[in-house]
Chain A
């Protein structure tokens, strides 16, 4: 075969083409990102406070200690953002169920019970679970001013041995 002296094999070509493609893409991507108006910071703020903030950028996060304190003082209303099935299996004592994934339906039923001078605290389960955050933003849009988020609420609450209920 006289192919060999004519051109490098496809495999050999790939060896320089791979870094070339990646380098070119990275250079252009980086340049565009730095120049565009909605470019991302190279290292993002993925802290809890940043991830669970409201429209103005203020953090909605409330600590377990504060949540428990307000609970004891009976000035809080918990709202469970998880699925209804998970709520029935166990929820923070006194909490309402507004599964984020069915929010329209459950919110209408629950809204009357939500009025009052208390602080609303939404929660779901898991450090990265965003349901509570989405629900909190929604509630603020609906006009509730005093809304906070207890991140990883269900796990923290149960691990601390705080009061829970089961059923509807």
Chain B
């Protein structure tokens, strides 16, 4: 269960970052359309975020630095989810940058919310399994720490 979740979350991050790394300009426009960052930070975020996702994806899939990856991954997903909800609440359609008069109408919005929630469930479980509970996770992740054993 733990390893399945770990690999699933890792793959999610790898799939997520792929297009953003290949098309930085398009991703920058998306970041801009979220209207959450000051203009001057949009490009930096668009440049760096996909690589953080790539790093997280690789760490999780290859079972490297998992505790750190799980914490950063959770923070990232919480941030994404909050951004999504915030923009839904204020009626901002990020695909066109327009504030619609009837916010939250699109079925696509709810699907995205459900999708992000399911990611959060996986990462939340990993947070519990990797950091809060005991031996099985710790032993696996401790392997790199304790060469002297």
Spell out A's residues near B (CB within 8 Å). 3, 6-11, 13-18, 20-22, 24-26, 28-30, 32-33, 38-44, 46-47, 82, 86, 100-101, 124-126, 128-131, 134
Report if A6-B69 is in contact (Cβ < 8 Å); known contacts: A25-B52, A46-B42, A126-B99.
no
Which residue of the partner chain, among A8, A16, A43, A126, contacts B97 with CB atoms under 8 Å? A126
- For residue B98, which residues in chain A have a CB less than 8 angstroms away from its CB? 82, 124-126, 128-131
B: number of interface residues (CB 8 Å): 46
- For residue B149, which residues in chain A have a CB less than 8 angstroms away from its CB? 6
Give the CA-CA distance A15 to B71 in the complex, in Å: 9
| CB closest residue in chain B, given A19 | B68
Which residue of the partner chain, among B21, B51, B68, B97, contacts A17 with CB atoms under 8 Å? B68
Which residue of the partner chain, among B55, B67, B101, contacts A14 with CB atoms under 8 Å? B67
B127 to chain A, nearest CB (A): 10
Give the CA-CA distance A150 to B22 in the complex, in Å: 32
Give the CA-CA distance A119 to B26 in the complex, in Å: 30
B14 to chain A, nearest CB (A): 13
- For residue A124, which residues in chain B have a CB less than 8 angstroms away from its CB? 98
User: Which of A9, A42, A44, A131 gathers the greatest number of chain B CB atoms within 10 Å?
Assistant: A44
- For residue A33, which residues in chain B have a CB less than 8 angstroms away from its CB? 24, 47
> Do A18 and B72 have beta carbons less than 8 Å apart?
yes
User: Which of B43, B72, B98 gathers the greatest number of chain A CB atoms within 10 Å?
Assistant: B98
Report if A26-B48 is in contact (Cβ < 8 Å); known contacts: A14-B68, A128-B35, A130-B96.
yes
> Do B55 and A25 have beta carbons less than 8 Å apart?
yes
- For residue A16, which residues in chain B have a CB less than 8 angstroms away from its CB? 68
- For residue A39, which residues in chain B have a CB less than 8 angstroms away from its CB? 24, 47
> Do B43 and A29 have beta carbons less than 8 Å apart?
no
The verdict on B70 contacting chain A, using a C-beta distance below 8 Å, is: yes
> Do B146 and A7 have beta carbons less than 8 Å apart?
yes
B91 to chain A, nearest CB (A): 10
> Do B55 and A24 have beta carbons less than 8 Å apart?
yes
User: Which of B24, B28, B42 gathers the greatest number of chain A CB atoms within 10 Å?
Assistant: B24
- For residue B35, which residues in chain A have a CB less than 8 angstroms away from its CB? 128
